[in-house]
Amino acid sequence: MRILAAMSGGVDSAVAAARAVEAGHDVVGVHLALSRAGGTLRTGSRGCCTIEDALDARRAADLLGIPFYVWDFSERFRDDVIDDFIAEYRAGRTPNPCMRCNEKIKFAALLERAIELGFDAVCTGHYATLVDGPEGLELHRASDSAKDQSYVLGVLTAEQLAHTYFPLGTTPSKSVVRAEAEARGLSVAQKPDSHDICFIPDGDTRGWLAEKVGTATGEIVDRSGAVVGAHEGAHAFTVGQRRGLKLGVPADDGKPRFVLEVRPVTNTVVVGPKEALAIAEIAGARHSWAGAAPAEPAFRCHVQIRAHSDPVPALATVADDGVRVVPDAPLDGVAPGQTAVLYVGTRVLGQFTIDATVSAVPVDA
């Protein structure tokens, strides 16, 4: 195949490109410039897409003997990922920018251009596997459960899966990838993995949002509506947060309180006991299927609400207005804006953005 290898400058994408070359494919490397003013150097494992990353990707491509290009996707990244991130926080939701980047950039914008240029597939260093199922191509978890990235790929459609290539999916562990990179002479063999939000490399999400969204004082209330504190911007709070609340009125039982809800229209933050974070039902209108859609409107599955959380057995129901999921055991600390990915065994069935939640603990409990 003619393969376009997305090379971030990290060890995973470099080894993925190397395996594509070794498999006999016609490979071209590309690094995505996602910022018009990218930083020069990384700070440990924080951030990505710096000039240093681009140079690391180029060195890997040179060693592999493949053509290499840098494509400017900064405008598309700003519109589809950064602006979406800001808008979601303004609306009181908690977005996942990595999901949005996979959906809109790596497997939409990049894949579209690759197909236009005559490539058969885009190769990445994600840890996930593709399986030929009875109804077509299926997305499954990686062999290494510790590195499995199928959750953040849950936004991919059947058409996109048909043009993807994940050479690392069956690798037993990340240590094997690093050892292989070392053996191949790749300079990124021991490079730290990227963490946090790539466009907020210092990790100060609250400060970054304050600059973009601004500050506006508002009330912090308990579940009964009683005012227990004040804040300078509801966007700075996320469901499940405990620290930094600075409440002026202690709870009757003396126990810590957690953020239960953010109400952007009234600029109000609702807090309550930890047990009130338990969620009995989630629902969302924006959904997609990673392959064939479910045959029945109601079906058993597992639901996962964060990249590294444990999947929970559940009953899912699909209707005209979206997807509703009732887990067998309450989910913990779910926030609107998060992505719920549905699994059947190791297979990724699809995903939806959570719009609404139902607490497992009544307000008067």
CB 10 within 8 A of CB 188: yes
Strands 218-221 and 268-272, how do they pair?
A: parallel
C-alpha span between 9 and 289 (Å, rounded): 30
Q: Of these residues, 49, 98, 123, 198, which one is catalytic?
A: 198
Q: Token match 């002026």: residue?
A: 248
Closest CA to 155 of 342, 27, 323: 342
Q: How far is CA 307 from the centre of its chain?
A: 7
Phi and psi dihedrals of 307, rounded to 5?
-60, -35
Question: Among this protein's residues, is 198 annotated catalytic?
Answer: yes
C-alpha span between 125 and 17 (Å, rounded): 8
Encoded tokens for 337: 């804006």
Please provide the distance, in angstroms rounded to a whole number, between the alpha carbons at the two ends of the chain.
Answer: 60
Neighbour-count burial for 193-208, b at 16+ CB within 10 Å, e otherwise = ebeebbbbbeeebeeb
Closest CA to 125 of 59, 169, 81: 169
HEC letters along 254-315: CCCCEEEEEECCCCEEEEECHHHHEEEEEEECCEEECCCCCCCCEEEEEEECCCCCCCEEEE
Q: Token match 């849950």: residue?
A: 154
Q: Of these residues, 98, 101, 123, 301, which one is catalytic?
A: 101
Neighbour-count burial for 127-157, b at 16+ CB within 10 Å, e otherwise = bbbbeeeeeebbbbbbbbeebbbbbbbbbbe
Active site residues: 101, 198
